[in-house]
Structure 1
């Protein structure tokens, strides 16, 4: 299972992601894809200049059962604390 949340997702990227995922609400995508497709889609997101920030969560064989990837400057940041990924919110 993979979840991608994007701030201000451009139409082109949203269209490409909807080929593989369901869009639960604007900028939030969920689906099950293999590792190759997941990595290719993440590269596509990272190559997009118009995206403010993106976070991807996907199943992984670790203590939490998932891993997170972050691109850009999303409103929430992922911090690694001794192997456990936690979300922190920046104050303005």
Structure 2
């Protein structure tokens, strides 16, 4: 199964993809196509996307049984020991000592109790 998700792409590209895939929602295309057709479609998407963004998800042998490709997308796929994860932009590395959330408990840990010295 192949899934292509388009955001802010020209109508001509959307029309081209409907020749090969089903559009199940605005900008979301799914279908079963060969690897050769998928690679050519992705090359066409990258070529015609213009200012838009595109995301491709397809079946692949391995632990996750899928893989990702992105074009002009802020989130990027990152391989960690054979598992592909999506890295969000601006995420800092995990620091367990850093305060998290905006719960009352997190505020108390960070700023101390109101009216009492920290």
Flag whether TM exceeds 0.5 (same fold). yes
Matched residue SS, 2:24: strand
In the TM superposition, 1:65-80 aligns within 5 A as: 65-72=65-72, 74-80=73-79
TM-fit CA distance, 1:49 = 4.9
TM-score (norm 1): 0.87
> 1:33 and 1:3 mapped to 2: Cα distance?
10
Q: Give the number of the structure whose residues are more often strand, by fraction.
A: 1
Asked which structure has the greater CA Rg, the reply is 2
Structure 1: stretches of 5+ with no match in the other structure: none
RMSD of Structure 2 on Structure 1 (CA): 1.4
TM-score (norm 2): 0.70
> 1:85 and 1:51 mapped to 2: Cα distance?
26
TM-fit CA distance, 1:78 = 1.4
The count of residues paired between Structure 1 and Structure 2 equals 90
Counterpart of 1:11?
11
Contact 1:45-1:51 within 8 A present in 2 as well: no
Counterpart of 1:42?
42
